[in-house]
Amino acid sequence: MTASGRPPNQLLQMLDAADFDRLRPHLATVEMVRESVLGEAGAALRHVYFPHGGSISISVSLSEGQTIEVAMLGRDSVVGGGAALADGIAPTDAVVLFPGTASTLEIAACRMIAAASLRFRGLIMRHEQILLAHAQQSLLCNTRHPVEARLARWLLRARDLSDGASLPLTQEALAQMMGVRRNAISLVAHAMQRAGIIRYTRGQIEIIDLPALKATSCDCYSAVKKSHSRLIGAPQ
């Protein structure tokens, strides 16, 4: 809990006292285990997740079996909120990338509170706009920008959601999420390591030079942050 007595999730922190008191009895805290599935495209959702830490990879699967990440969500986000207010069916896959905890809310309770609270419903809908901005920017990034800039952007977002500069990641996982071949990630990661930007050892990527990483990234990183700040406020 934070000093306010609320879970450390940006959307929960932004609710006024009356709305949070309405929400509190329905919240439960769960551990998000790495690689656990929070939502599967086309399947009914049971819960909405408000992450306290860690991160969740939101991805889509192509007909040839390839999976590509369209957004990474964490403590500045909600997972499944928009679907809960629609038909309750997950539009994408949601898999835990980095472990952490989250507050959960059953779908029925989410709908009930959204019906009673304009503020809560508005936050959920504005977050859906942020999620759309993530997906649109990812599409642009994947088609227009080199792998080096895309990797830098991904690492910056992962760092924003983590509690440190060391990220437990394999090159295989990065390649799958970014929709590129593993050797492309390997070449770029080694180049960034030689430049002193990151250190890669035994499935751990450590960010060494943050300013250089930001300089290597494309503008997509700052564009999504600006959208988040405009719609909800500066990301935590």
- What confidence tens digit (pLDDT) does each residue in 26-79 have? 999 999 999 999 999 999 999 999 999 999 999 988 767 678 889 999 999 999
d(CA 81, CA 89): 11
d(CA 83, CA 92): 10
pLDDT, position 68: 85
3 inside domain: no
228 inside domain: no
Answer with the one of 140, 164, 191 that is the final residue of a domain.
Answer: 140
Res 233 pLDDT > 90: no
Overall domain count for the chain: 2
Both 119 and 160 in a single domain? no
234 inside domain: no
pLDDT, position 165: 67
Q: Are the beta carbons of 164 and 210 closer than 8 angstroms? A: no
171 inside domain: yes
Both 88 and 204 in a single domain? no
Both 133 and 19 in a single domain? yes
DSSP secondary-structure letter at 3? Answer: T
Q: Are the beta carbons of 32 and 56 closer than 8 angstroms? A: yes
Both 175 and 189 in a single domain? yes
How high is the mean pLDDT of the chain?
Answer: 91
Choose between 121 and 201: higher pLDDT.
Answer: 121
Length of the chain: 236
Q: What does the block give as tokens for 129?
A: 């706009």
Among 202, 170, 130, 215, which Cα is nearest to 34's? 170
Both 209 and 163 in a single domain? yes
CATH number at residue 193: 1.10.10.10
Coil, helix or strand at residue 24: helix
CATH number at residue 94: 2.60.120.10
d(CA 89, CA 203): 34
**How much is the pTM?**
0.92
Q: In this structure, what are the phi and psi dihedrals at residue 163, rounded to the nearest 5 degrees? A: -95, 10
pLDDT digits (tens, 9 = 90+) for 94-131: 999 999 999 999 999 999 999 999 999 999 999 999 99
Q: What does the block give as tokens for 231?
A: 């719609």
d(CA 79, CA 94): 8
DSSP secondary-structure letter at 89? Answer: B
33 inside domain: yes
- Domain hosting residue 44, numbered range: 10-140
pLDDT > 90: what percent of the chain? 71
Both 73 and 115 in a single domain? yes
Within 10 Å of residue 163's Cβ, how many Cβ atoms?
10
pLDDT, position 232: 87
Both 62 and 17 in a single domain? yes
Q: Are the beta carbons of 120 and 113 closer than 8 angstroms? A: yes
Both 29 and 86 in a single domain? yes
Alpha helices, H only, the chain? 10-14, 17-23, 81-85, 107-116, 118-144, 147-161, 171-178, 182-194, 210-216, 220-231
Answer with the one of 140, 159, 182 that is the final residue of a domain.
Answer: 140
Both 163 and 110 in a single domain? no
pLDDT digits (tens, 9 = 90+) for 154-196: 999 999 998 776 888 888 888 888 888 889 999 999 999 999 9
